Chain A
């Protein structure tokens, strides 16, 4: 096995490390700690952040790519050869689903194909039959397997919850459990654990049954829809997070300097973002992606495999989305900096001869943090939804890449079939809806706590 890093993998892991560092830093700041404490008092915030973490976990699992070693053909050669195609950890988890490709459409939990096909049997008679699926268990023990899966899921999640409680409150474990059970804990832990258990149980159920069924059906070429939905998580989350992270430094630096320095710097920066924001977003993205496509077609040496190609395309898409989306935040940050730089504490700092850089670092940026945080969380859900639309327009991620947008795009034609093939659309809908709803609810809570305008 050999570990390989794609471009987006590096960015994701870099981001995770940065987040961990940041949370370590703020855990030493009592004021910031208090704010987060207030946020997590709400059970909705707790539940949605558990859901978001769950999606993040799958993103991370899908962001570790490996090249498996080929089996040694003879004992003579000692050099280990690696496969050309990379697989991620998530692919390994769902390996059975990748290999068990059927012939064509099949409904969720079906044992036969969705459409009938014409076969000639041994006696030479032509018949219309529903061909049985190849990789579906013929034993009819759906209930038994479900119960087993639910039991295992429940045990597993309860164990993890118990370990977590024990890790937090070692000395008074029983007491803490009782408090949480009655919903009397300081933070809304009961909802958090409840959501966690629900998610883990659902996942184990889906996963264990996926060994004997196609839980969410198969698509046109017989691919498993459950696997596709889980693979799409990475695409959606990556576009949602990385875009804002990439544009953040630009927006902050330009916004703060426009507000603080004024004069021609302000004029230039204002001109820049007015110009960029006057181009309709979708068109600018479309223009960017089209140019990028031509560029990639003319430079086929940049990537070796289709996975690298689609990854590079995802990276470019994120960059283009970043370029088009920093203007709004920059405008808000400029206005806010202008306001802060006129306040007394900044004037005092200036009078004491504190350098401009220190003023920015110590007085201005900390006072902008809430705006930055709100915009990161608010943009996230919008970007996840935008991915679907862009893929439909044809300027989204690579068609070979798993994404909810591509799933919906295919499903559009399937809905016109008679009878309807609804499960691809349904799966994409459910997976996307849960993520976006969680992000929206979480950003609502953050906004309510952090936005000073809401304090009446």
Chain B
């Protein structure tokens, strides 16, 4: 087990290097550091000296991949790419354009994101699975067909509408909850309810359809027929056999997301004014702060890769057939 995890962690390294290479190409090769300096400083009164000092401030004055001035190994190592990558690998994200420490910002903003994303995820998981089981129990009936049509309709509406409609209805017209804001601790619950509910509702259409198709795939298996032949009630078959065996494909889809919950949701957080990583990213995008976007890309892929490893581990825990 341990050897397997170590092997998986080692395999993550080339992928992270690849991620770095992609972001590096996006940020430094599509536009040379000179172009970026010009865009940041404003095109009007740009002098070569200003550009040079802007680049030096950020350490962007090194060559991209190969340093012809250096000797030996330093030809490759004393380059912008290696410096940038090493910094990211040690989780040193540097400073944003507004001179804030990105690493500290991320630490501070992770919890608010998580406090929205985790309840949304848990409640959505439970509702979707129970609704899907209900539909599978009544499969082929009017309830099933009409609910499936409703699910397609829910899926066909942009999430932005749910947020806007929810805010107008619950906050503006009925005044049940504040329209936006955030507080840590139990006092903050009133701010969280609406985004969580909207998040759950927006995902219900695709979620229920997905879980339903998983359970329907199980219900045609031989072991279900055997269970019925033994005289088990339909409820017992559903919960004891179909749900348990359906957990496996559900795990693959679900565990991957868990670490990424820290990243938060971009639109949710910016609509509800939650000081999490999602709104952090949006602010960075709007102010064209490349350093923050770069850090978020790296963080996002690290969390995703952790999710992949967790998925494999959870497989071995839940499915005795899988041996490492």
Q: When the two chains form their complex, are residues A286 and B293 in contact, meaning their CB atoms are under 8 A apart?
A: yes
Interface residue A432 (Cβ < 8 Å from any Cβ of B): yes
List, in ascending order, chain A residues with CB within 8 A of B282's CB.
Answer: 393-394
Q: Which of B31, B168, B267, B297 contacts A392 (CB 8 A)?
A: B267
Size of chain A's interface in residues, with CB distance under 8 A?
Answer: 48
Contact A276 B26 (CB under 8 A): no
Q: How far is the CA of A279 from the CA of B22 in the complex (A)?
A: 10
Q: Are A279 and B152 in contact (CB under 8 A)?
A: no
- How many Å lie between the Cα of A279 and that of B153 in the bound state? 30
Q: Does A80 contact B (CB under 8 A)?
A: no
By a CB distance below 8 angstroms, the chain B residues around A404 are 158
Q: Kindly state the separation between the CA atoms of A282 and B156 in the bound complex, as whole angstroms.
A: 20
With A280-B263, A290-B293, A425-B164 as known contacts, state yes or no: A453 contacts B217, CB within 8 Å. yes
> Quick check: is A351 within 8 A (CB to CB) of the other chain?
no
The residue in A271, A284, A456 that gathers the most chain B C-beta atoms within 10 A of its C-beta is: A284
* B50 adjacent to chain A (CB < 8 Å): no
How does the 8 Å CB contact mask read for B13-32 relative to A, with 1 for contact and 0 for none?
01100110011001100110
- Beyond A279-B22, A283-B300, A388-B160, is A440–B27 a contact (Cβ under 8 Å)? no
Q: Is the CB of B267 within 8 A of A440?
A: no
Which of B19, B22, B36, B158 contacts A408, CB < 8 Å? B158
Please provide the chain B residues from 270 to 320 with a CB less than 8 Å away from any CB of chain A in the complex: 271, 281-282, 285-286, 288, 290, 293-294, 296-297, 300-301, 304-305, 308
Report whether A294 and B36 are in contact in the complex, using a CB–CB cutoff of 8 Å.
yes
**B266 nearest CB across to chain A (Å):** 6
- Considering the chains assembled together, what is the distance between the CA atoms of A272 and B14 in angstroms? 11
Contact of A276 among B22, B27, B217, B296 (CB under 8 A): B22
Q: Are B305 and A278 in contact (CB under 8 A)?
A: yes
Cβ A283 vs Cβ B158 within 8 A: no
**B39 to A415, Cβ gap below 8 A?**
no
B297/A420 in contact, CB under 8 A: no
0/1 per residue, B68-85, Cβ < 8 Å to A? 000000000000000000
Task: Assess whether A436 is in contact with B39, with CB atoms less than 8 Å apart.
Answer: no
- The reply to whether the CB of A185 lies closer than 8 angstroms to some CB of chain B is no
Q: What 1/0 flags go to B39-69 for Cβ under 8 Å of A?
A: 1000100000000000000000000000000
Least Cβ–Cβ distance between B169 and chain A, in angstroms: 11
B301 to chain A, nearest CB (A): 4
Q: Are B288 and A283 in contact (CB under 8 A)?
A: no
Pick from A280, A395, A441: contact of B301, CB under 8 Å: A280
Give chain A residues whose Cβ lies under 8 Å from the Cβ of B217: 453
Contacting residues, chain B, for A288 (C-beta < 8 A): 26
Q: How far is the CA of A271 from the CA of B282 in the complex (A)?
A: 29
| Contact in complex: A280, B31 (CB < 8 Å) | no
Residue A298 at the chain B interface, CB threshold 8 Å: yes
A271 in contact with B300 given A393-B282, A415-B164 (CB within 8 Å): no
**CB of B220 within 8 A of chain A?**
yes
In the assembled complex, which residues on chain A have CB atoms less than 8 Å from the CB atom of B157? Answer: 429, 433, 436
Among residues of A, the one whose C-beta sits closest to the C-beta of B302 is A278
Q: Does B183 contact A (CB under 8 A)?
A: no
278-324 of chain A: CB within 8 A of chain B: 278-280, 282-284, 286-288, 290-295, 297-298
B260 located at the interface, meaning its Cβ lies under 8 Å from any Cβ of chain A in the complex = yes
Q: Mark A419-431, 1 if CB is under 8 A from B, else 0.
A: 0100001000100
**Bound complex: CA A139 to CA B133 (Å):** 59
Quick one: which of B43, B161, B167, B263 has the most chain A CB within 10 A? B161
**CB < 8 Å: which of B168, B285, B297 contacts A284?**
B297
Question: Of A279, A394, A437, which one neighbours B19 at CB under 8 angstroms?
Answer: A279
A187 close to chain B: CB less than 8 A: no
Q: Interface 1/0s, chain A 430-451, versus B by CB < 8 A? A: 0011001100110010000000
With a CB–CB cut-off of 8 A, which chain A residues contact B271? Answer: 412
A-B contact pairs, 9 of them (CB 8 A): A279-B22, A280-B263, A284-B22, A290-B293, A293-B288, A294-B31, A381-B156, A392-B160, A437-B153
Q: A279-B300, A287-B23, A415-B164 are in contact. List 12 more A-B contacts (CB 8 A).
A: A274-B15, A278-B19, A279-B22, A280-B263, A284-B297, A290-B288, A294-B30, A295-B30, A393-B285, A408-B160, A411-B164, A425-B161
- Residues on A lying within 8 angstroms of B by beta carbon are 271-272, 274-276, 278-280, 282-284, 286-288, 290-295, 297-298, 381, 385, 388-389, 392-395, 404, 408, 411-412, 415-416, 420, 425, 429, 432-433, 436-437, 440-441, 444, 453, 456
Q: Which 8 A-B pairs have the closest CB atoms?
A: A275-B18, A280-B300, A437-B156, A436-B156, A278-B301, A291-B30, A294-B31, A294-B39
